[in-house]
Amino acid sequence: MIKNSATEMAQSLSSGATTSVALTQAHLDRIAEVDGKVHAFLHVDAQGALEQAANVDAARARGEKLSPLAGIPLALKDVLVQKGVPTTCGSKILEGWRPPYDSTVVTNLKNAGVVILGKTNMDEFAMGSSTENSAYGPTHNPWDLTRIPGGSGGGSSAALAAFEAPLAIGTDTGGSIRQPAAVTGTVGVKPTYGGVSRYGLVAFSSSLDQAGPCARTVLDTALLHEVIAGHDPKDSTSINAPVPQVVAAAKNGEVKGMKIGVVKELNGDGYQSGVRQRFEESLELLAKAGAEIVEVSAPNFEYALAAYYLIAPSECSSNLARFDAMRYGLRVGDTDGASAESVMNMTREVGFGREVKRRILLGTYALSSGYYDAYYGSAQKVRTLITQDFNNAFEKCDVMVSPTCPTTAFKIGEKANDPLAMYLNDIATIPVNMAGIGGMSLPCGVAPEDGLPVGFQIMSPVMQDQRMYSVGAALEAALLTQWGAPLLSQAPSLDGAA
């Protein structure tokens, strides 16, 4: 039952073949069985999940009209607040904090009857590409427990790949939904910026952060997308327009006549051979399905990474000033006579990890008087150039595509001491965040040389998210015909793992 898609689980619930309580318990059992090895979860809310499942079962018994995902379990990235449930953002500075309110994403999930199993592991404050920056220890990739599950949302992607949950929520500032999806053989979508409310999403880089849906199939991802998306008066950057029809697009999966633009600059040197091979094969499948493949150029994408590592740290240095040891979270050194400033200094030294400190200081530098124009100001100009590249390319095609990541999952510890090598993981995902458009990663096979999953990225213009779902569904269907079974059936079984 736990290896089914959410859509199949929903059918079992509506036909009466199972109950949400039984489905939830099956996932809690799976978590108890495998999470000691995977470490996808930071907190499991068994009681809350079972209560919510019982409520959905009762509503169903009363004949109430329920949303399509009512009663389905979900794993929530620990950067979104849920009232009364510990929220750490993977940081020591928030250890033990229980938020007094729900994020809008959580409110929408609760209103739809989605059952929240618990909070998933992540790089501290979503800064990282491997989940190794979590203060609570790394998450392990279910395909190979010695490898990273991607980051920052490695807990959510690993939970899906280990069948601990059929649905998950991630957040994506520079690729934190799509890169984890790519390296775990799962599906992840970063919606158009403003498509999903950021209210209650602990801010890292406000102009780039976007919450989004993760699942094992394109249709499940679309169903979750429609649950969490929509205008929210509590977020001034929330787009006040109808949600793109992503479920209809995922069900239809029609690409006949669509123009698919292959980004010349995001495929070549630096991309692993097996990644390129699976990507090229996927393009052939899309062409067979009736799409027209064209090449597009985005000459300024090569500056995206540099601009990102100025803009994101700048915004983070400002956003993380709120962790001041005064109103919530950790407080260290509050002895008689200690000044507020020394308490702040000591708390932030103890509470923040290495990567967070590195980025706060980098941002402080980039924003400082005398250097502002050279760094932050120049990065903002690059942002304009990248957006122009997208606009020009979208005149020649309906969606743009690339491999999601240059390589498959690397070993835990392999890049931990080389920040620049780590940052290169996001080279193909960052441009999407800079322009605020939509991006999806879906599995397109395993690399022949290492047997690890490869991600296929689809990018669609602002508020045209349905286009990436059409293309994703078409590719998924063609690949499934080829494979005969979902890619995750090739992953090692974790059954019996302690």
Partner 1 sequence: MSSLSRDDVANLARLARIDMTDQELENLTTEFGVILNAVARVQEVATTDVPATSHPLPLKNIFRSDVVIPSLTPEEALSGAPASEEQRFRVPQILGEEA
Catalytic residues: 77, 152, 176
DSSP string, 165-231: -SEEEEE-SSSTTHHHHHHHT-EEEEPPTTSB--TTB--SSTTT--EEEEESSHHHHHHHHHHHBS-
Indicate the residue among 58 and 374 with the shorter CB distance to partner 1.
374
Work out whether 194 is an interface residue with partner 1 (CB under 8 A).
yes
DSSP string, 42-98: EEE-HHHHHHHHHHHHHHHHTT----TTTT-EEEEETTB-BTTB---TT-GGGTT--
Cα torsion 408, 412, 414, 415: sign: positive
The residue from 143, 303, 394, 456 that contacts partner 1 (CB under 8 A) is 303
Q: Which of 434, 461, 460, 388 is nearest to 208 (CA)?
A: 434
Residues pairing with 212 in the sheet: 170
The residue from 288, 322, 381, 411 that contacts partner 1 (CB under 8 A) is 381
- For residue 253, the minimal CB distance to partner 1 (Å) is 28
Work out whether 230 is an interface residue with partner 1 (CB under 8 A).
no
Please identify, among the stretches 6-14, 231-239, 289-297, 451-459, the one whose residues bind partner 1 according to the rule CB under 8 A.
231-239
Please identify, among the stretches 158-166, 379-387, 401-409, 480-488, the one whose residues bind partner 1 according to the rule CB under 8 A.
379-387
Q: Give the position of tokens 């491999």.
A: 403
Q: Are 478 and 285 in contact (CB under 8 A)?
A: yes
In the 8-state DSSP scheme, what is residue 323?
A: -
d(CA 38, CA 75): 14
**CA distances to 143, 154, 216, 402 from 264, in Å:** 30, 28, 28, 9
Work out whether 346 is an interface residue with partner 1 (CB under 8 A).
yes
H or E stretch covering 31:
helix 20-38
The residue from 300, 402, 425, 470 that contacts partner 1 (CB under 8 A) is 300
Binding-residue pattern over the window 414 to 443 for partner 1, x denoting contact by CB under 8 A: -----xx-------------xxx-------
Binding-residue pattern over the window 97 to 136 for partner 1, x denoting contact by CB under 8 A: xxxxx-----------------------------------
Binding residue count for partner 1, defined by CB under 8 A: 70
In the 8-state DSSP scheme, what is residue 375?
A: I
d(CA 175, CA 180): 8
H or E stretch covering 403:
strand 399-403
Indicate the residue among 119 and 278 with the shorter CB distance to partner 1.
119
Binding-residue pattern over the window 390 to 419 for partner 1, x denoting contact by CB under 8 A: -----------------------------x
Q: Are 226 and 247 in contact (CB under 8 A)?
A: yes
CA atoms within 13 A on the CB side of 371: 10
Indicate the residue among 41 and 352 with the shorter CB distance to partner 1.
352
Query: Diameter of the chain by CA atoms?
Result: 74
Indicate the residue among 237 and 252 with the shorter CB distance to partner 1.
237
Please identify, among the stretches 220-228, 243-251, 317-325, 442-450, the one whose residues bind partner 1 according to the rule CB under 8 A.
317-325
Indicate the residue among 305 and 447 with the shorter CB distance to partner 1.
305
d(CA 63, CA 430): 46
Indicate the residue among 93 and 114 with the shorter CB distance to partner 1.
93
Binding-residue pattern over the window 436 to 475 for partner 1, x denoting contact by CB under 8 A: x-------------------------x-------------
Work out whether 241 is an interface residue with partner 1 (CB under 8 A).
no
Please identify, among the stretches 13-21, 143-151, 170-178, 318-326, the one whose residues bind partner 1 according to the rule CB under 8 A.
318-326
d(CA 133, CA 33): 25
Please identify, among the stretches 60-68, 174-182, 287-295, 343-351, the one whose residues bind partner 1 according to the rule CB under 8 A.
343-351
The residue from 112, 161, 202, 360 that contacts partner 1 (CB under 8 A) is 360
Q: Which of 19, 12, 35, 17 is nearest to 165 (CA)?
A: 35
Other beta carbons less than 10 A from residue 439's beta carbon:
31
d(CA 114, CA 5): 14
Work out whether 379 is an interface residue with partner 1 (CB under 8 A).
yes
- For residue 385, the minimal CB distance to partner 1 (Å) is 6
Indicate the residue among 47 and 236 with the shorter CB distance to partner 1.
236
Indicate the residue among 172 and 476 with the shorter CB distance to partner 1.
172
Length of the chain: 498
Q: Give the position of tokens 């240095």.
A: 317
In the 8-state DSSP scheme, what is residue 413?
A: T
Q: Which of 261, 362, 253, 353 is nearest to 312 (CA)?
A: 362
The residue from 36, 137, 233, 448 that contacts partner 1 (CB under 8 A) is 233
Work out whether 11 is an interface residue with partner 1 (CB under 8 A).
no
Quick one: tokens of 190?
A: 């970063």
Binding-residue pattern over the window 22 to 61 for partner 1, x denoting contact by CB under 8 A: ----------------------------------------
Binding-residue pattern over the window 153 to 192 for partner 1, x denoting contact by CB under 8 A: ----------------------------------------
Q: Can you give the binding site for partner 1, defined by CB under 8 A?
A: 97-101, 193-194, 207, 233, 236-237, 239, 300, 303, 305-307, 309-310, 317, 321, 324-331, 334, 337-346, 348-349, 352, 354, 357-358, 360-362, 364-365, 368, 374-375, 377-385, 387, 419-420, 434-436, 462
